[in-house]
Structure 1
Amino acid sequence: MHRFSGAPAGVAFGGGAVLGAAHIGVLKAMHELGFRAGCVSGTSIGSFIAALHAFGKSWEEIEKLALDLDWSDLSGLTISGYGLLSNRKFGALVERLLGSCLIEDAPIPLAIVATDICTGQKVVLRKGDVATAVMASSSIPGVFRPVEYDGMLLVDGVLAENVPISPLREMGADTIVCIDLLGRHTFRRPEHLATLLLNAFYSALRAISELQIRDADLVITPDLTGYSLVDMSAVPDILHAGYVEARPLLTSWLASRRQT
Structure 2
Amino acid sequence: MLKDPRIAKFRKMLADAPNYEVWKAAALELDFLEGNAEWKEDFASDLYHYEVIYDRLSNLKQYRQQNDVERLKRALREGLHHDLGNMGNSALYTRSRVGTKHLIEEYITQVCEALDYLCDQPVPGFPVADKLQFFRDTLTSYGRPALLLSGGATLGVFHFGVIKALWEKGLLPQVIAGSSIGAIIAGILGVHTDAEIPEMLIPENHNLKAWKWRGLLSAVRGDGLMDQEELRNCLRGNIGEYTFEEAYQRTGRSINVSVSPVQAHQKARLLCGYTSPYLMVWSAVLASAAVPGIFPPVTLMKKDIQGNTLPYMPRLKFVDGSVVSDLPIERLMHLYDVNYTIVSQTNPHVVPFLSQRGLDEKLSLGNLPMHLLKSEIQFHGQGVFDYLRKRVRPELLRQMSGQLYTIMAQRYSGDVTIAPSYSFKDYSRMLANPDPAYVRQMILAGERATWPKISMIRSHARISKTLERCVRRLKQQNRRTAELRLISNADSGTS
Flag whether TM exceeds 0.5 (same fold): yes
Q: CA deviation at 1:96?
A: 2.4
Q: Secondary structure at the match of 2:346?
A: coil
Could you tell me which of 133, 140, 160 is aligned with 2:324? 160
Could you tell me which of 230, 244, 247 is aligned with 2:448? 244
TM-score, with structure 2 as normaliser? 0.44
Q: Does 1:217 align with 2:419?
A: no
Given that 2:164 and 2:447 are in contact with CA atoms closer than 8 Å, whether structure 1 keeps it comes out as yes
Q: Which has the higher contact order (CA 8 A, sep 6+)?
A: 1
1:123 and 1:133 mapped to 2: Cα distance? 10
Q: CA deviation at 1:142?
A: 0.7
**Would the alpha carbon gap of residues 258 and 67 (structure 1) be closer, same or farther in structure 2, given more than 3 Å must change?**
closer
Alignment of 1:16-165 (within 5 A): 16-56=152-192, 58=197, 60-65=199-204, 69-72=208-211, 75=212, 77=214, 79=218, 81-82=221-222, 83-107=224-248, 108-119=253-264, 121-126=267-272, 127=276, 128-149=279-300, 150=313, 151-165=315-329
| Structure 2 counterpart of 1:130, one-letter code | V
Given that 2:226 and 2:294 are in contact with CA atoms closer than 8 Å, whether structure 1 keeps it comes out as yes
Given that 1:178 and 1:219 are in contact with CA atoms closer than 8 Å, whether structure 2 keeps it comes out as yes
> Is the radius of gyration larger for structure 1 or structure 2?
2
Q: Secondary structure at the match of 2:454?
A: helix
The CA RMSD over aligned residues, in Å, is: 3.1
Bigger CA drift: 56-65 or 104-113? 56-65
Given that 2:298 and 2:317 are in contact with CA atoms closer than 8 Å, whether structure 1 keeps it comes out as yes
Alignment gaps of 5+ in structure 1:
187-201
TM-score, with structure 1 as normaliser? 0.79
Instruction: Provide the identity percentage.
Output: 21
TM-superposition CA deviations, 1:161-188 (whole Å, max 9, x none): 12332332232122211111133359xx
TM-superposition CA deviations, 1:131-166 (whole Å, max 9, x none): 111110000101111102323111111111123323
TM-superposition CA deviations, 1:52-105 (whole Å, max 9, x none): 111115154244258762344xx3637363222232222222222333211132
Given that 1:4 and 1:174 are in contact with CA atoms closer than 8 Å, whether structure 2 keeps it comes out as no
Given that 2:340 and 2:460 are in contact with CA atoms closer than 8 Å, whether structure 1 keeps it comes out as no
2:320 and 2:292 mapped to 1: Cα distance? 7
1:158 and 1:8 mapped to 2: Cα distance? 23
Could you tell me which of 206, 211, 230 is aligned with 2:431? 230
Alignment gaps of 5+ in structure 2:
1-111, 113-138, 301-312, 354-402, 464-495
Which of the two has greater strand per residue? 1
1:43 and 1:257 mapped to 2: Cα distance? 23
2:346 and 2:213 mapped to 1: Cα distance? 25
